[in-house]
Amino acid sequence: MPVTPQITERPEQPYVAIRADVTMEQLPGLADRLGEVFGWLAERAIAPAGPPFFRYRVIDMERQLKVEAGVPVPTAVEGDNRVTAGVLPAGRYATATHVGTYDGLMGAVDNLLQWADAQNLQWDKSDAEEGERWACRLEIYLTDPAEQPDSARWETQLAFRLK
């Protein structure tokens, strides 16, 4: 059952990530990079400050997506040649939580986009030659599949920044 989206205020959040340019077909494999990010944090004795996420920076569904597989951290840290450091911007976000397999995320995204359109909300994004450039568009993975093997119970929060 779809959850009604809402508008929330999110504070600025430091994070570390591995960036990748992927096609839609390659996107599921990006989840493997989250393990690398967690390993990088463990090597530095840095505890995550929340659940992992994908940050979609540029979207062109037909060609390529510019995505980060990231993990929030308590305070800003310095990245290296493999792991980048950044800050998720503070602001108003339209959010919705999808419960179920990752296969259902496209439908959940469509629902959130349609809801915002019906509310006359505008996304913090711009059109660029390579696709839609988003200020901040997140899929936050609230459920650890190692702890909850039933994919029908996985929770993923969508959080898209508004203008």
Which are the contacts of 50, defined by CB distance < 8 A and separation ≥ 6?
A: 13, 71, 72, 140
Q: Report the Cα 64 to chain-centroid distance in Å.
A: 16
pLDDT attached to residue 102? 86
pLDDT attached to residue 103? 86
Q: Report the Cα 15 to chain-centroid distance in Å.
A: 12
pLDDT attached to residue 29? 86
The dihedral through the CA atoms of 136, 105, 8, 17 has a sign that is negative
Q: Please list the pLDDT of the chain residue by residue as tens digits (163 residues).
A: 456 899 999 999 999 999 999 998 898 888 889 999 999 999 999 999 999 999 999 999 888 999 999 999 999 999 999 999 999 999 999 999 999 988 889 999 999 999 999 999 999 999 988 899 999 999 999 999 889 999 999 999 999 999 9
Domains and CATH numbers, the chain: 6-161 (3.20.80.10)
Q: Which two tokens stand for residue 47?
A: 């505890």
